[in-house]
Each structure stands twice: as C-alpha cells, then as structure tokens.
Amino acid sequence: PRDFWKSFGPGLLWAAAAIGVSHLVQSTRAGADAGFALAGVILAALVLKYPFFEYGPRYAAATGQSLVEGYAGVGRWAVWLYLLITLATSVIVDAAILLFTGFLLLSVLGLEWPVWTAAGALYAGCAGLLWIGRYRLLDRTVKLILVALAVSTLFAAALALPRADLGTFVLVPSVGDGAVAFAFLLALVGWMPSAVDISVWNSLWTLAKDESERVRTSVGHALLDFRIGYVGTGFMAFAFVTLGAAVMHGSGESFSAAGTAFSLQLVDLYAETLGAWARPFVLVAVLTTMLSTSITVVDGFPRGIARSIEVLAGRRATDVEAGETGRIYWGAMLAIGVATPAVLAFLAGSLTGMVDFATIVAFLTAPILGYLNLRAVTSDAVPEEFRPGPGLRALSWGALLVLGAFGAVYLVSLLR
C-alpha cells in the first residue's frame, strides 16, 4: 500500500548502521576461523537482541515521541545515562569506522594520503550531504547504497558457496577447543547485529521520516519496515560468514588482527580463489558495507545527543518537531567532526585501546539499555494495544538474563 512506502526507510537506515564492522570483520572472521561452526551463535544473538531494537520504532510510532522521551518517563537518570554512553563512544566509534572506510578507499583508489585526511574528508562529505538534503537525502542515499551492498554481497557469497565446507555447521559450538576464542565469541555476540544504543536512532529516524513525508507512521508499518531491515542484516551476516568459510577457512593463510588488513585479505583471497573477474563484486560489497555505516553514524550520534539535551532541558517535542534537526544537532556534528580526525591524527596508536573501551561500554550497558527499552515500551505512554505481547516480553527478560551474564563474564575475564 502507498501508505507503507511513504513510511518505508528508517528500518533500512538502522540496517545500514548495523551492517558494518560486525559483519565485514567479525562475521567473516567467524567463517574464516571456524567455517560455519559459529552460525548458531550469530543466529542466537540476532534472536536475543531482536526485541530491544524493535522497541525503538514501536515506541516512536505508538507515541509520536522518541525512545529518549521514553527514558525520561523512567527517570532523568536514564536520559543522562544514554547521553553519557553516547558522548563516551561517539568519537571513538566514528574514528574507528571512518579510519576503516578511509583506508579501504585509499587502497582502492591507490592514493597515498595520510589516512586521517581521508577520514576527515569522508566525514565532511557525509555531513555536507546531510546539510544539503537533510533526512530525505540520507534516506535516498542509504537505500541506493544498500541495494548495491545487498546485490554484491549476496552474489559474491553465492559464487563462493560451492567451495564452502558445510560439514562444519553446528548449532552449538564447543568453546575451548582453540577454534573459538572466548574473547572473540563475546565480541561477536556484543556487536551482532549492533550495539543496543542505536535502537534510539531508529526511533528518531521514524519521527524524521514522518516529518519529511508529512505522515504519521502506523505501528504496523513501522514494525514491518524494521523487520525488513532486521532480516536483511541477518542475511548479510550469513553471507559474510559464507565468504569467510569459503575462501579463508582452511586456506592455510594467517589472518591479520587489524580489521582493515583483514578485509583486504578477504578481497585478495576471493580473487585468487574465483579469479580476478570476481574481485569487483567482493570489493563493492566491502566498500558499500563501510560507506553505509559511515553516513548513518555521522547522522545518528548528533541526533541522539541533540534529542537528549533537548529532553533534559525540558523541551517537549510535538510530532513534527521531534523529527527536525536544530542547532544542537549541527553543533554536535561539528564537534564530533573536529574531534574524529584529531583523534586519528594524534592518537592513532591508542585507537585499539579506545575501541576496546567502546566495546566494554557497549557490552556492559546492553542489558541496562535493553531494560530501559522494555520499561519505555510497556509504560502508560504506550497505548495497551501497541505494547509487546507476552511472548516478546518473555524473550526480552530471557535476553536480559543472557546479556547480563555475558557482561558479567566479560568483566571477570578483564579482571583476571
């Protein structure tokens, strides 16, 4: 129906933000190290985290407000917590993603620039696109990139599949046999399909879409839009596992610990295995994966920061205002845009430690933010008929227990 197409898009933006390093590096590395032995772990992560991501668009469509307002309903401390998480991780995550994307672009184009200048140029390009076209151009650009990403990745995986050893597939991997390092397993679950805090972005994008199209998205349409994006991220994860399993697993090569070098190894091995003619497919898959993430994080972090500050300052949004971007948004974008290349230029050697810090924050706050999302979507602000049913609530509580246990184990592993 025409109404659905008018509200179609925020779920794809969420997918674009999620399909990044978690897919390109971690899913591929899972396939490279263990064949299909970790496919069950990826599936479990996708199922367990589903409710917390789904509550973003559900809350926005049901209430006409973002999850930030939902957090405010729980308590001001919840908004402060979300804002602090975002401030603590925004520059680090942007730096890591733009470094990765800049490195890939320089390699493909054969340029010898310092990588921080490429990252800065990339950030400026994304910010410029948002300045010129606001949400509508972001929506259209990401849809185009995602089409290229889906076609190239699925085609590359289909070409490689006959070479993969499907005998390695198990639903429950045996941890401790050396093939599956526990730390890698934690990172795989922690970032698959993404960190829980980006559920807030999805609620904000749902409102921005309403504002740009002058419609009010129904809960049914918002959930369908999200599920299309979510299932898509799952398919992409398994496509990258297939690439790793088919061209890297059992190849006898030792793989780089650096994500950038690892992704170029994937491209080279793919071309060696299937022939030089196949290189463009996997190259487009690799580049579009990182470009889609780059543009969505450049918009997402300032959007989350701006809404949090507005809510803490007591500004209540009407439906239309909720999707707009104001001075705080552009100020936050400028500040992150200055800090990100600066970190890459002067603190590049410390970036691994910073990314570890962001991973720890993502891990340990996932159950807290998941709980806040559940509290928001079951609150009085959401009409009874739009609240999650008993099955989804039960899955949420089960997932909170698992994520909490993972966080505790991760803490213990750090302290040992």
pLDDT tens string, the chain, 416 residues long: the values are: 667 777 788 999 999 999 987 788 888 888 888 888 888 989 999 999 999 999 999 999 999 999 999 999 999 999 999 999 999 889 989 998 998 888 888 888 888 888 889 999 999 999 999 999 888 889 899 999 898 888 888 888 888 888 877 777 766 665 554 444 777 787 788 888 999 999 999 999 999 998 888 888 899 999 999 999 999 999 999 998 998 888 888 777 777 777 677 778 888 888 888 788 888 888 888 888 889 999 999 999 999 999 999 999 987 654 335 455 688 999 999 999 999 989 888 877 776 677 778 877 888 888 999 999 999 999 999 999 999 999 999 999 999 999 898 888 878 877 87
388 SS3 class: coil
Query: For position 1, what pLDDT does the model report?
Result: 66
Query: What pLDDT is recorded for position 175?
Result: 55
In eight-state DSSP terms, residue 355 is H
176 Rama sector, left if φ>0, alpha if ψ -120 to 50, beta otherwise: left
What pLDDT, on the 0 to 100 scale, is given for residue 166? 76
Q: What are phi and psi of 339, to 5 degrees?
A: -70, -35
Q: Which CATH number fits domain 2-415: 3.30.70.1710, 3.40.50.1260, 2.60.120.380, 1.20.1740.10?
A: 1.20.1740.10
Q: Check residue 409 and give its pLDDT.
A: 81
pLDDT of 110 = 87
Decide if 285 contacts 146 (C-beta within 8 A). Answer: no
The C-alpha angle 155, 157, 160, rounded to 5 degrees, equals: 110
In the prediction, which pLDDT does 317 show?
56
pTM (predicted TM-score)? 0.90
**What is the Cα Rg of the chain in Å?**
20
CA 11 to chain centre: 12
Identify residue 143 by its one-letter amino acid code.
K
Three-state SS at 177:
coil
Q: Is the peptide bond before 193 cis (omega within 30 degrees of 0)?
A: yes
Count of CB atoms within 10 A of residue 320's CB?
12
What are the φ/ψ torsions at residue 224 (nearest 5 degrees)? -65, -45
For 140, other C-beta atoms within 10 Å of its C-beta total: 12
pLDDT score of 320: 37
Residue 9 C-alpha from the chain's centroid: 15
Structure tokens at 50: 């589903």
Nearest Cα neighbor of 317 from 218, 211, 213 is 211
Whose tokens are 């959930």? That residue is 223
